[in-house]
Structure 1
Amino acid sequence: MAEETVKKYITNEDLKNHNKPGDLWIAIQGKAYNVSDWIKSHPGGDAVILNLVGQDVTDAFIAFHPGTAWHHLDNLFTGYHVSDFQASEVSRDYRRMAAEFRKLGLFENKGHVTLYTLSFVAAMFAAVLYGVLACTSLLAHQIAAAILGLLWIQSAYIGHDSGHYVIMTNKSYNRFAQLLSGNCLTGISIAWWKWTHNAHHLACNSLDYDPDLQHIPVFAVSAKFFNSMTSRFYDRKLAFDPLARLLISYQHFTYYPVMCFGRINLFVQTLLLLFSKREVPDRALNFAGILVFWTWFPLLVSCLPTWPERFFFVFTSFSVTALQHIQFTLNHFAADVYVGPPTGGDWFEKQAAGTLDISCSSYMDWFFGGLQFQLEHHLFPRLPRCHLRKVAPVVQELCKKHNLPYRSLSWWEANVWTIRTLKKAAYQARDAANPVVKNLVWEALNTHG
């Protein structure tokens, strides 16, 4: 009996070898788990696990999972402990912070943000219907279009929140909130969003693993894209061809116009996923929700009297949502980037390096949906947005303690930083002979030009 209680050990090097299909291991708090079968039904998708297999993933596990998830690990335990398991001082502080937030009930106390936002969305939807159906003036129709764009922004925040944590009383209601706010109201599949967004959180600002930075041929935030690297998320080559060179050379000019049509790309990405051969959770429900959107929206537009009015209605509504697309890029485009897979041992450091916060007054929190606290959200993606402003000073102090960046910029400053980043890559792309070396010298001499 005594022999049965003796612990079995492996090293971190041994753990790294368990990184092949059918033999996928991870470590959490010094214990090794076999996730080879579990990966097929993992609610967060397979990419987030595949990117971290063979590593200690304690910090990422804490960030993404509620306390109840720890009980499910017992069924996956291999019986092995990692003999040289150790956590950095930053990780230990991060885990203590997460534990303290849990003791304070911050993850469970979600406030009434969802109720307020849903009520706001419902009121805006009624205003849009009134503006289109009951009014005849062009100005009223354009105001209705602007309100519809604002509705899409606020509805997307609900979809985002419900995708990260249960904002309703149970999972069924939460799934309903996702499909309603995402698929039905915005026409963007919640399945597509969760697939890409979870990967983005895990591999924040990795050029080849983070899908939110892979916008070739339209945008490139780094000259490293000019080597035609392979996207490990989409499993395809990000070709830096003549078209990409041309478009990227002027990206600092096209940035805002392209954002006005950002929704079209999201519609396309949604359809590509739903019609793909990938395993898509709730595919039928996602299709049904998309069908709802593509029923009510064209019908609404068709109620306008002329084709020019219909065009400008769609253009205005799409252009207003550009504010949200810009916000998403401001949070990351000008932050630090790297090449390669994410690593489990530097979770806090990678999130701090790859994010930018947007400073604003508290009365504007509704407009930004909590995502102006981007670092706080990345560190604690399950934390309800009503608490992000409260925990920001604590996160800032921890960054200061460990000499990590904590960048909180005004909306204007964040735009300046983003355009500067795009401009750097644009000038580097213009040299067809040697796009990187020559222009790096140019940038060194013209940093503030």
Structure 2
Amino acid sequence: MGFERKYVSQEELRKHNKPGDLWISIQGKVYDVTDWVKTHPGGDTPLLNLAGQDATDAFIAFHPGTAWQHLDQFFTGFYLKDFEISEVSKDYRRLASEFSKLGMFDRKNHLVIYSLCFVTLLFGLSICGVLCSNSFWVHMGAGALLGFSWVQVAYLGHDSGHYNIMTTRGFNKLAQILTGNCLTGISIAWWKWTHNAHHIACNSLDYDPDLQHLPVFAVSSSLFDSITSCFYGRKLTFDPLSRFLVSYQHFTFYPVMCVGRINLFLQTFLLLFSKRKVPNRALNIFGILVFWTWFPLLVLCLPNWTERVLFVLASFTVTSIQHIQFCLNHFSADVYVGPPRGDSWFEKQTRGTIDISCSSWMDWFHGGLQFQLEHHLFPRLPRCHLRTISPLVRELCKKHDLPYRSFSFYEANVRTIKTLRDAAMQARGLIWEAVNTHG
């Protein structure tokens, strides 16, 4: 007697979409990840966002081949009755398989060694500039170098968060704490929490934390409806203060980016000292304490408070280059309201990302993130391969009539400011409407 498969419909699968009852489908098989969500290395947010639906493409994107063997323990015994694979998903999975066979996910081309040496040099020059000179301008240059070292360190932290840049997972975790917490003061736990959610729900106004910047910025008038952030679990209130700030956001964008690092420090503290379950909380707090020991001591080595304040401001201003780039990659792309859909995962990545075109010799400056779509489609792929696969991704987008947007750094800035200005003008219209209504 042959084995008879048991099936569930898409509608039945969708019912299992909340904490305490969480199912997902991968390649037509249904898995119960209700308990696994508590210890999932990528956090609970990706699983909660894709609960009750097919998550195959996202699973392929974020997991190495060795992860497939762990799925059997969660198998419910059910298969998806009306399981279909779109043509774009078939092509995407074929491309991912080819990259895997070529060993591209594991080959990093000594990039980590070069980056570590460069970061060490930048940090060394910055410290020497503070300790070995009495010149005001040397001190300001040292501050700028420190800021630029933070930019390069952030790229390393980003790489280590997506794939192992070290020989083992233990050393990789050490690299994460060192590059994130100890050297920059920004918790790797906070980064993973927000960044994984951003990748899964790219440019969803209520699910992607990277677009939730009220009261300072709003990239779409849809945020004027005070929608609820499903990431933070609170309403993004568009109150009179938000309305006023947003109405001038195209003017305040660059000044805010210059001090944007302060918000990252604040978000780190809010998470690490919250009631939320934080992986390796003690280790993350220790790393933050390391940063808040060496950085103030370095600043205090400067001769007076004027130079100290300007040194910190110089370092923060240089890091704004990176904050701006993150915004350029998404602010002027397509946005939507609602949860991500696993069966349109590829399409959402193409519509929610913008590449920054540059010469190959500038790849180190952008840390690979100029290939934003390529990175979103293949987040585990070391950045040294992103330029190589770019023509293949462009070709795939063209085949399926999906956007592949690549602009120069200047053009991307213009588009971002235009997006902010358009929303600002709409906010100003609401201000005048309120004035006229209430006299």
TM range (shorter): over 0.9
Unmatched tracts of structure 1, length 5 or more = 437-449
| Equivalent position SS for 2:78 | strand
Partner of 1:65: 63
Question: Cα deviations across residues 331-350 of structure 1 (Å, max 9, x unaligned)?
Answer: 00000000000000011100
d(CA) in 1 for partners of 2:66 and 2:418? Answer: 44
Q: Deviations over 1:375-425 (max 9, x none)?
A: 000000000000000000000000000000000000000000000000000
Q: Distance in 1 between matches of 2:384 and 2:268?
A: 29
Q: Tell me, what secondary structure is at the counterpart of 2:429?
A: coil
In the other structure, the counterpart of 1:32 is: 30
- Show the counterpart of 2:243: 245
CA distance in 2, matches of 1:12, 1:25: 11
* Number of the residue aligned with 1:132: 130
* Contact preservation (8 Å) 1:376, 1:388: yes
Q: Distance in 2 between matches of 1:352 and 1:308?
A: 46
Q: Are the aligned partners of 1:429 and 1:435 in contact in 2 as well (CA < 8 Å)?
A: no
**Distance apart, 1:18 and its partner CA:** 1.3
One-letter amino acid of the structure 1 residue matched with residue 198 of structure 2: H
Contact 2:147 2:318 (8 Å CA) reproduced = yes
The CA distance in 2 between the partners of 1:392 and 1:185, in whole Å, is 32
1:373 maps to which residue?
371
**1:428–1:435 contact (8 Å) kept in structure 2:** no
The one-letter amino acid of 1:42's match is H
1:273 equivalent to 2:271? Answer: yes
Distance 1:25 1:371 in 2: 33
Residues 59-110 of structure 1, C-alpha deviations (whole Å, 9 max, x = no match): 0000000000000001000011112101100001000010011011100111
Give, in angstroms, the shift of residue 435 of structure 1: 6.9
Offset of residue 14 of structure 1: 1.2
User: Which 5+ residue runs of structure 2 have no aligned equivalent?
Assistant: 435-439
Please state how far the C-alpha of 1:168 moved relative to its aligned partner. Answer: 0.6
- Residue 99 of structure 1 aligns with which residue? 97
Amino acid of the residue matched to residue 105 of structure 1? Answer: G
Pairs aligned (count): 434
- AA matched with 2:72: D
| Aligned equivalents of 2:32, 2:172: Cα separation in 1 | 29
Q: For residue 358 of structure 1, what is the amino acid of its counterpart? A: I
**Counterpart for residue 209 of structure 1:** 207
**Superposed, which structure 2 residues align to 1:211-360 within 5 Å?**
211-360=209-358
Taking only the aligned residue pairs, the percentage that are identical comes to: 68
- Aligned residue in 2 for 1:423: 421
2-structure distance, mates of 1:431, 1:360: 38
State the match for 1:412 in structure 2: 410
Higher mean alpha-carbon deviation, 40-49 vs 13-22, is at 13-22
Alpha-carbon displacement from aligned partner over 1:17-46 (angstroms, at most 9, x marks no partner): 112332211000000000000000001110
Shift of 1:240: 0.5
> Which among 184, 187, 205 is matched to residue 186 of structure 1?
184
- How many angstroms does 1:433 deviate by? 5.8
**CA gap 1:382/1:434 in 2 versus in 1, 3 angstroms:** farther
Partner of 2:437: none
Match of 1:159 in 2: 157
Residues 61 and 377, structure 2, Cα contact 8 Å, conserved in 1: yes
Instruction: Provide the residue aligned with 1:149 in structure 2.
Output: 147
59-68 or 427-436, which moves further after superposition? 427-436
Deviation at 1:49, TM superposition (A): 0.4
Contact 2:18–2:48 (CA under 8 A) maintained in structure 1? no
CA distance in 2, matches of 1:166, 1:435: 53
C-alpha separation in 2, matches of 1:420 and 1:261: 22
Per-residue CA shift, 1:102-129, capped at 9, x if unaligned?
0111001111111111111111111011
Within the candidate set 384, 401, 424, 2:382 is matched to 384
Secondary structure of 1:108's match? Answer: coil
The answer to whether the 8 A contact 1:230-1:236 is kept is yes
Identify the match of residue 11 of structure 1 among 9, 12, 16. 9
Whether the aligned pair in 1 keeps the contact of 2:30 and 2:78 (CA below 8 Å) is yes
SS of 1:25's equivalent in the other structure is strand
Q: Distance in 2 between matches of 1:197 and 1:20?
A: 21
Equivalence for 1:446: none
